[in-house]
Amino acid sequence: MKTVSVFDFRNNLATYMSRVVKDETPLFINKFGSPLAVLIPFKKYEETVSLDYFGFLSGSEKGMVFEDKIRRNKKEKAKVTNLRN
C-alpha cells in the first residue's frame, strides 16, 4: 500500500500510473493527510464490477420494458404511453 499527496501525484502522474499498472498495487491519494481517492489497475476494477448491475444494458431486456417495470402508478404509466404514441 503506497500513499502519495495530491500535489506530488499531480506533478508525477505518468510515473504513478505506470507504477500502479506494473506492480498491480493500489495507490492511495491523500489531501492534507486524509485519504481522498484510490488508483487501482483496470484489471482489478473489472474483477470487482458485476455485469448484473447494468440491468437492461447487459442485453437481458429492452429499455422500455425496464422503464415500465419501475413506474410507480398506473396514471404515470398511461401518461408515458400517450407520449410515446
Domain that holds residue 10: 2-46
Q: Which residues pair with 4 in a beta bridge?
A: 29
pLDDT at 68: 65
Which has more confidence, 81 or 41? Answer: 41
For Cα atoms 45, 50, 54, give the angle at the middle one, nearest 5 degrees: 115
> Are 10 and 42 contained in the same domain?
yes
Total number of domains in the chain: 2
Beta strands in the chain (DSSP E): 2-5, 27-31, 34-39
Are 7 and 40 part of one and the same domain? yes
pLDDT tens, residue by residue, 23-69? 989 999 999 989 999 999 988 887 776 555 555 555 666 666 666 66
Q: Are residues 41 and 54 in the same domain?
A: no
Q: Dihedral of CA 74/76/82/84: which sign? A: negative
